[in-house]
Structure formats: structure tokens, C-alpha cells
Structure 1
């Protein structure tokens, strides 16, 4: 009886060892087969891009995704062996949550790199730099030529795209929160000024200037005499952004981005999209994302 019990226990132990060994092999096989995000994208030949309609950075025209940020991303991913871009339109304020949730592999919208955003997304090295601009009612009846002018007149209301860096820029120049409205996109900010719900709107210089050209209206004007604020964050440095868990893809992107900066491709793409290939260009290591994220630049 004892001998039979011993045999049964030994058999059970051997079966348990076999089962454990099989599980380890299976897990190992899954790990080997899963690969990195970069490898998966290269295998698929496609990357999912999140963008917001904000010309000339990223925008949709006749069903096609265009813009400087888009063209730069296309060039970089092509160097990585990824030729197709699955573009997905999103509201500006949902871009970072979207890349965090895995809805996008990358977001590309000329988004300014700053410490707060760096806590929630892994930014590439800067792809461009840019200043700010103002749009007012035609004739500029209130004489607004700076953020300080807005701050000094409590009756002035400014409307800004939701989630844009200009909100904090305005506050740092003394504009009170009750003077600031938000809207989901640039066309909505223009509508607010045209309807009289706001007196002025602000955004990056190229964005508001090109948006005004597209709007083709005599009711608004771009303030040519605008005084750039002397504050941290101006000029802004824009880049692509990835999930914080996807730094390998970000690092691979940065490597190819640097090569395309050095051979003149990035400067050419900026010029093709209405930017200045010199003043809007950021040379390799001139300003780094590490410095921008730490607030040192």
C-alpha cells in the first residue's frame, strides 16, 4: 500500500514538473514573438498618427493629411522602413490622452515641448521653432498689439484653442482667467471674434496667419505690429510625441530626425510648408528636448 502511494505521489510530481516546463516554454515563445513596437510597425509598414486641424503644422485637405509636422514625420518614418500613415483627426486637447491610451503610435501637430507635457508624453527632439500671433477685428479698434495690452484692459476678452500653450503665456503676462475663453479649434476662435463674443484670439504665428488666409474674410486682421512676449516658452519648440512607455520608438525617430536635419531635408520640408528654412529650423543639439522638459531652455 505504501509502495503504491509512493508511486502515485512520484507520478503526480513528474506531471507537475512537465506542466511547469511547458508553461515556461510557452511564455518564452510569446515574449520572443511579441517584438517591440518599432519592429511591429516595420512589419506592418504602417504607423497611426494623431493630429489636430492646425495649418501649417498638420491639417486635412480634400481627405489628405498635410502640413510641415506631417511631412517631417513621413520622412522620418520612411527612413525607419514605415511608408504608410494611418491618420486620425482629434481635438487638440485629446492628442496626448490619445497617445497615452494607445489610440495613436505618435502625435504630430507642432506641439510645443514643455515640462508639463513632458510628464505625460515622450517628445522627440525639436522639429521646428515658432513665435506667437494675434488676430483682431478689422481695423484693430482696441489697439491690441501685445499680451500686456490685453492684461491692461480688463474689458478685453481673448479666446484661445483649448489646451494651447498661449493660455499660460497670457496668464504670465498678467491676463486674468476671467478674460480668457477657450474653443475646440482655430476656426472656432475666429468665429468667437467675428461674432463679438471675444475681442482677440492668439495662437502660433504661422497658424493664425495661414488660418486667416484660408478664412478669406475682411472682418478680421492679423496684427503685424504684435510684440512677442519676453517670457519662458517663447519661442516655442515643437516636436512629435509618443507614449512614455514607447521611448524605444521615440529614440529611433530621433536618430533618423538628426540625419535628416544634417542633410538639409528638414529645412527643405519647412520651406515647402511656408516656414523659413533658417529661422524656424532647429539645428541638431542647438536646443534639446531634455533642456525643454526640465525648463532650462
Structure 2
């Protein structure tokens, strides 16, 4: 009986030690795995896996090569951290955060807009770009659409990429759920408008404008005088996103990103991808925490 009691005491002590050990910094918020942090593992392997949605000019694949402003900025930041190789994985935009949380990616580099809802499921790095919205309609703009309010008041239908913030934006401007269609990607939204299944499509300004230019679709037009909606979330601030247990990795990324902002690299990479260094650079006082809390927009 005494032997059994002694064994029980030893086992109970081991359980307590294990429980106490789980409260260490490596086991809480640093993306740890068996005592080694996510950051340490990535530095050791020299490779980071990024999730992206095929959305030019933020992140897209061309001839097997991952390109785009968000990609270039992330690559530069990881290189600053000593991680040279980037392994890319394509996913539908709506599946990026679920894929991140399922461990399919180490980071999302899709120019994803920070918003309070997304902040509940992922931790964003500091923003690296700023952008507005754009509208594409059939050539000649038969319904005379120039704003989200026009879509609402004229009962127009709009096709929007699944998981995009524009779904929430148009609803805030009065567009009914029955007017909204969703599609897997930008080409699919263009197809809906060109075929007459939808009257318009919307997305971030640079995305829809450049996608339309490269598509060669003469049935569609970009609405040059589109009126930006005056609602929370616009302009949007794009940033890389990390798993909520990868604090150490995200903080190291932020430190590297801050250096790239300070030495002008971020502005150079924005311009390289068709953005404006003046209009698309993030103001110094805007932070991921401020946008997540809804205090900054």
C-alpha cells in the first residue's frame, strides 16, 4: 500500500511539473513546438511557407514565380530576419485564415486588410500598405453606377470575391444581401458582370484595375470617378498575418519591417508593383493594434 502511495505521489508531482512548464514564454504565444519556437525553426530551415490568393498586384503567381507588393515586402522582411527561401501555397482568399490556423502556412502575404473581425482569428503584423476601393461594370456603365450607394438605390446586383471585406462595405452602404453574389476569385467576378449575371463587381482599387487591364476584356470598364464610401475600414491597411501562437515570429517580422520602412525599401517595392509611394504608404501613426480595435480607420 505504501509503495502504491509513493508511486501515486511521484506521478502527481510529475503532472504538476508538466503543467507548470506549459506556462513558459516558449509555450505561450511564441509558436512553440517541443521547446523550439516557430521563429527558431524557420531560421534553422531557412524557409518560410506563405499563403496567398491569386490577386494582382498584392500576391500572385506568374510562370510559377510568386510576385506582388505584399510578397516582395514579406520576402524582404524575412530576408532581414535571416530566412532566405519562400515556399508559396495558393488558396482561395476566404481560406487563407483557416489555412493559417490549420498550420498550412507560417504567414499570410496577400495584402489582406486588417479589420476587427479578422483580428479575432489571426494576429496582424504592422501594416505595410494602404488602399481604397474600385468598381468595374459593363462597358458604357448602363446602370450609371458610381458608388456603393448607387448600387443600393438602383437595385443593382454585385459580384464579390468570397471572404472579401467589400461584402461588408456594400452592406454598410445599404446594399441588400439579395443583391450580392460571391465568386471564388476576381476573374470569376469579371465573368459574372461580362455575362450579365451581375451588374458590377468591386474590390480593392489596384486589384480590379490591374486585373481588368491584364484581362483584355473589352466588355467591361473601370469606373474612374468611383466615389469612395465614407465608412469604417476605408481606406484599408494591408498587412501580413500570423497564427495567434506566433508572437515571437510576428514581433521579429515587425522589427524587420520597421527597418525596411525607415530605409525606404517598402516605398520602393510598392512603386515597383504599380502602387504610389505617396498615396499607398501607411501613415506613421497607424498601427495594427489601432486598426484591430476599431480606433483607427
Same topology, TM > 0.5? yes
Deviations 1:135-157 (A, max 9, x none): 00001111100011001012x10
Distance in 2 (alpha carbons) for counterparts of 1:252 and 1:100: 20
- TM superposition shift of 1:34: 3.3
- The 1:13–1:163 alpha-carbon spacing in structure 2 relative to 1, beyond 3 Å, is closer
Whole-angstrom CA distance in 2 between matches of 1:117 and 1:283: 21
Q: After the TM superposition, which residues 50-65 of structure 1 pair with which residues of structure 2 at under 5 Å, given as runs?
A: 50-65=51-66
Partner SS for 1:133: strand
- Report SS of the residue matched to 2:154: coil
How far has the Cα of 1:282 moved from its partner?
1.1
> Which residue number in structure 2 is paired with residue 3 of structure 1?
none
Taking a change above 3 Å as real, the CA distance of residues 99 and 91 of structure 1, as seen in their structure-2 partners, is same
Cα 1:35–1:194 shift into 2, 3 Å: same
Indicate the structure (1 or 2) with the bigger Cα radius of gyration: 1
2:287 corresponds to 1:288: yes
Offset of 1:13 from its aligned partner?
6.6
- Determine the C-alpha separation between the residues in 2 that align with 1:107 and 1:190: 25
Find the residue that maps to 2:202 and give its secondary structure: strand
* TM value normalised by structure 1: 0.90
Partner of 1:103: 104
For residue 160 of structure 1, what is the aligned residue in structure 2?
160
1:81 equivalent to 2:82? Answer yes
Q: Say whether 1:248 aligns with 2:269.
A: no
In the alignment, the residues of structure 2 paired with residue 176 and residue 153 of structure 1 have an alpha-carbon distance, to the nearest angstrom, of: 11
Contact 1:159 1:180 in 2 (8 A): yes
The CA deviation string for residues 85-128 of structure 1, in whole angstroms up to 9 with x for no partner, is: 11000000000001111110000111000000000000000010
CA gap of 1:13–1:150, structure 2 versus 1, over 3 A, is closer
Whether the 8 Å contact between 1:261 and 1:283 is mirrored in structure 2 is no
Name the SS of the counterpart of 2:268 in structure 1. Answer: helix
Instruction: Quote how far apart the aligned CAs of 1:175 are.
Output: 0.5
Task: Structure 2: give runs of 5+ residues left out of the alignment.
Answer: 22-26, 28-32
Mapping for residues 179-218 of structure 1, pairs under 5 Å: 179-218=179-218
Residue 263 of structure 1 is matched in structure 2 by 263
Q: Structure 1: state its 5+ residue gaps.
A: 1-5
SS of alignment partner, residue 233 of structure 2: coil
Name the residue aligned to 1:223: 223
Structure with more helix by fraction: 1
Q: What SS does structure 2 have at the residue aligned with 1:135?
A: strand
Q: How many residues align?
A: 285
Structure 1 stretches (4+) deviating beyond 3 angstroms?
A: 31-34
Aligned to 1:134: 135
